[in-house]
Amino acid sequence: MSITKADTGFELDLPLLTELAQRPQPPDRARLEDIIAKARSLSGLSLEEAAALLWVADPEAREQVFAAAREVKQAIYGRRLVLFAPLYASNECVNNCLYCAFRRDNRDLRRRTLTREEIAAETRALEAQGHKRILVVLGEAPHTGARYAADAVRTIYETKCGAGEIRRVNVNLAPLSVEEFRLLKEAGIGTYQCFQETYHPEQYRRLHPSGRKADMAWRLSVFDRAFAAGVDDVGMGVLYGLYDHRFDTLALLSHAQCLDRRYGVGPHTISFPRVEPAQNAPAAERVPHPVGDDDITLVVAVLRLAVPYTGIIMTTREMPALRRALVEVGVSQLSAGSRTYPGGYATGPRDAHVPDSEQFTLGDTRSLDEVIRDLAEMGYYPSFCTACYRLGRTGHDFMDQAKPGRIQQFCTPNALLTFTEYLLDYASPQTRQAGERVVEAALQEVAPPLRSTVENRLARIRAGERDLFL
């Protein structure tokens, strides 16, 4: 299979990526220090520099990489973590991906596509937990394309539950045409998310034997069409375990750099899910290239150093202990209280594991409240902020603030405001107590000219106002 720049707008340099991924090249001490010094300047990394870090094996050298990642993350994001939940609207799919329970040939899966009323019910259930940000997830089928997704987005925005409301709807959906992307733009989509799964052409072909997803070039070029339609916040990722993790990480970074050069806007988010057990999915039962906890931790740290401005997303695929560790070295957004099947919030059982309906098995089944309490006890303040999207700080405007680290002047205050809303409206007593300690400590770190503004708005929120932001 040949993938060229003419096909996609992105040149997949297979010889270079293969050489960097397969030729062991751990940096010596001087080279390591040079790379880390560059990363600490928030300048990002070249492919060669990222590849060198991915080959670091010595524990002491790895700790140097982790320490730099912690420093860079603190410079860009501080102690703030954005929270969201996926809303699975359909598990019907025409594709036959060998790692996914939604694959067409899985005859044992209970298929379901939610109606508008059922989407509203799911939304109310998520709002009742305190969520403000939703990621709509869809399989690929003729009746669940752009028009269905746009209608789902509008339904979610229109649905309110008491003090609850969803303020940002992102979408994880199969690649669309420019005209279809315009439908999502008109509906008020936040970030459009699409994962390449693996960038290796032959492995991609083997894992996607049929369905429209078998067309790798159509998927590789998806972000070019999104930008052409005016959707300027995009999220990319690979599914770790499908192919060599170094190759796919470097290909992902190459794609991110291409977007930045071509449009002046890199990916708004990067995701790094690993293959998890899934019903009747051969590549999930026998993972082709397993990636252990140590290696995925290094991957996250290298991603943070290579693209410091980009949000790194972690899902509930991972176990709580690893989620805590990955938050420290690079993760800035995470899902909580997730269900990975349609109808899971409003009508699903308390147990998150439903093999005949879910896409994959969860590692973290804790509630949103439990996750927030855990994060607060670690010294983090969860954020439900959506201000940038609603004020037009997206695309170029967001990158202009995020790349030099200036976005914190907005993000920290807005995180504290939205977190206080959650603590007042939804938190358990234990979580509220832990959260209020974090808010008070974080407030002291806000510069005095701005602190009085934040304190004033916090007082207004405690008096009953909602949805205040900078």
Q: Where are the domains of the chain?
A: 15-73, 79-388, 391-462
How do 164-165 and 234-237 pair as beta strands?
unpaired
Q: Does residue 64 contact residue 43 with C-beta atoms inside 8 Å?
A: no
Q: How confident is residue 28, by pLDDT bands cut at 50, 70 and 90?
A: very high
Average pLDDT over residues 415-442: 96
What is the identity of the amino acid at 142? P
Q: How confident is residue 447, by pLDDT bands cut at 50, 70 and 90?
A: confident
Residue 6 has pLDDT above 80, yes or no: no
- As given in the structure block, the two tokens for residue 32 are 């390591």
Q: What is the pLDDT of residue 25?
A: 85
Q: 293-306 and 245-263 helices cross at what angle (nearest 10)?
A: 20
Q: Which residue has the higher pLDDT, 386 or 123?
A: 123
- As given in the structure block, the two tokens for residue 374 are 């855990």
- As given in the structure block, the two tokens for residue 297 are 């931790």
- As given in the structure block, the two tokens for residue 67 are 């320490």
Residue 390 has pLDDT above 90, yes or no: no
Residue 420 has pLDDT above 90, yes or no: yes
Average pLDDT over residues 389-415: 64
Q: What is the pLDDT of residue 397?
A: 58
Share of the chain above pLDDT 70, in %: 92
Sequence-distant (≥ 6) Cβ neighbours of residue 427 within 8 angstroms: 130, 369, 372, 435
Residue 214: helix, strand or coil by DSSP? helix
Q: How confident is residue 356, by pLDDT bands cut at 50, 70 and 90?
A: confident
Q: How confident is residue 469, by pLDDT bands cut at 50, 70 and 90?
A: confident
Average pLDDT over residues 229-242: 96
Q: How confident is residue 394, by pLDDT bands cut at 50, 70 and 90?
A: low
Residue 295 has pLDDT above 80, yes or no: yes
**Cα–Cα distance for residue pair 457/447, rounded to 1 Å:** 15
Average pLDDT over residues 377-388: 87
Share of the chain above pLDDT 90, in %: 83
**Cα–Cα distance for residue pair 331/311, rounded to 1 Å:** 7
Residue 266 has pLDDT above 60, yes or no: yes
Q: How many residues are given for the chain?
A: 470
Average pLDDT over residues 1-5: 46
Place of tokens 């050069």: 261
Q: What is the pLDDT of residue 4?
A: 46
Q: What is the pLDDT of residue 468?
A: 83
237 beta partners? 271
Average pLDDT over residues 114-129: 97
Residue 206: helix, strand or coil by DSSP? helix
Residue 409 has pLDDT above 80, yes or no: no
79-388, CATH topology level: TIM Barrel (3.20.20)
Q: What is the pLDDT of residue 232?
A: 87
Its pTM stands at 0.93
Find, among 303, 300, 280, the residue nearest to 291 by Cα: 300
Q: What is the pLDDT of residue 396?
A: 57
**Cα–Cα distance for residue pair 211/91, rounded to 1 Å:** 15
**Cα–Cα distance for residue pair 208/182, rounded to 1 Å:** 28
Find, among 421, 318, 301, the residue nearest to 361 by Cα: 318
Q: What is the pLDDT of residue 385?
A: 81
Q: What is the pLDDT of residue 391?
A: 61
Residue 78 has pLDDT above 50, yes or no: yes
The per-residue pLDDT for range 167-209, each reduced to its tens digit, is 999 999 999 999 999 999 999 999 999 999 999 999 999 999 9
The per-residue pLDDT for range 208-219, each reduced to its tens digit, is 999 999 999 999
**Cα–Cα distance for residue pair 67/34, rounded to 1 Å:** 14
Q: What is the pLDDT of residue 445?
A: 85
- CA-based radius of gyration for the chain: 21
Beta strands in 173-241 (DSSP E): 192-193, 234-237
Summary mean pLDDT of the chain = 92
**Cα–Cα distance for residue pair 194/174, rounded to 1 Å:** 7
- As given in the structure block, the two tokens for residue 22 are 């397969």
Q: Does residue 87 contact residue 134 with C-beta atoms inside 8 Å?
A: yes
Taking residue 463's Cβ as centre, other Cβ atoms within 10 Å add up to 7
Q: Which ranges of 385-468 does DSSP label H, i.e. alpha helix?
A: 387-390, 395-402, 408-425, 429-443, 448-462
Q: What is the pLDDT of residue 448?
A: 86
